[in-house]
Amino acid sequence: MRVLAAMSGGVDSAVAAARAVDAGHDVTGVHLALSRAGGTLRAGSRGCCTVEDALDARRAADRLGIPFYVWDFSERFRDDVVEDFVSEYRAGRTPNPCMRCNERIKFAAVLEKALDLGFDAVCTGHYALVREGRDGLELHRAHDAAKDQSYVLGVLTAGQLAHTLFPLGETPSKALVRAEAEARGLSVASKPDSHDICFIPDGDTRGWLAERVGAERGQILDQSGEVVGDHDGAHAFTVGQRRGLRLGVPAADGKPRFVLEVRPVSNTVVVGPKEALATSEIAGARFSWAGAPALAAGEEAACDVQIRAHADPVPARARLVDEHDGARVVVRPDIPLDGVAPGQTAVLYRGTRVLGQFTIDRTVSAAPVGV
């Protein structure tokens, strides 16, 4: 096949491209320029898509003997990922920019352009598996549970899976990927993994948001409505947060308090006991299936639900219901979920298979009345 290898400048995408070459594909490398700040440099393991990353990707492509290009997706990344991140926080929700990037950039814009140019598939260094199932292609967890990235790939559709290659999905460990890169003479063999939000390389999300949303002082309330502290902007808080609350009034029982709710309209934050974070039901109208639809309207089925990239999956029952404003996926976990925030992504699994995902827009508390 003609394969476009998305090369971030890291070890994973370099080895994935190398394996695609070994498989006999006609491979071309591409690096995505997602920022107009051309002088941006990497700070250790923070950040990605920098000048250094582009140079590392080019060196890897040269080593593999494949053509290499840089595609400028900075405008679309700004509009579809960065501005979405800001607007979600402004609305009091907790977004996942990696999900949006995979959904709108890497497996929408890039794949669309690749197909238009005559490529058959896009190859990436993600740790996940695409398998042929009874009803078509399926997305599954990677063999290496510690590196599995199926959660952030839960937004992929059946059509996208048909044109996607994940050569690292069956690799038992990241150590073997690094050893392979070393053996191939790839200079990125020992390069640190990126973490945190790539467009906030210093890791100061609160300060970054304050510059764009604005810092406006507001009140922190307990569940009874009593003022127990103040803040410099509700956007800086997320449900489940414990640290950095600066509460001036201690809880009556002396126990720590957590953020229970963010109210952007009134610029207030509500705090309370950990028990009040328990959630018995989540739902979302914005959903997609990773392959064949997992539910029909009115149908209910057993599954596992995962609400964070590195959280443990929880057994649950999911159903697809028709409501006045459209269809919605509703999930009731067997064990109450902790610290669920609107805007988070819930990914549904059956065993290792990813069924689909939805953005949480409604939650039901599992806490007794008065807690």
- Catalytic site residues? 101, 198
In sequence order, which residues have a C-beta less than 8 Å from that of residue 152 and are 6 or more positions away?
96, 98, 99, 102, 126, 309
DSSP reduced 3-state for 137: strand
Number of neighbouring beta carbons within 10 Å of residue 305: 25
**Tokens 């902790």 -> residue:** 338
DSSP lists the bridge partners of residue 233 as: none
Pairing of strands 314-323, 353-359: unpaired
In sequence order, which residues have a C-beta less than 8 Å from that of residue 324 and are 6 or more positions away?
none
Q: How far is CA 126 from the centre of its chain?
A: 12
What is the sign of the dihedral through the CA atoms of 144, 145, 151 and 156? Answer: positive
Paired tokens of 247: 């509460």
**By the 8 A CB rule, do 197 and 205 touch?**
yes
CB-facing half-sphere around the CA of 311: CA atoms within 13 A? 21
**By the 8 A CB rule, do 106 and 146 touch?**
no
Write the burial class of residue 244 (CB in 10 Å: 0-12 exposed, 13-18 middle, 19+ buried): exposed
Alpha-helix residue ranges (DSSP H) falling in the chain: 11-22, 51-64, 74-77, 83-90, 97-101, 110-116, 158-161, 174-183, 205-213
Pairing of strands 326-333, 68-72: unpaired
d(CA 240, CA 362) in angstroms, rounded, equals: 16
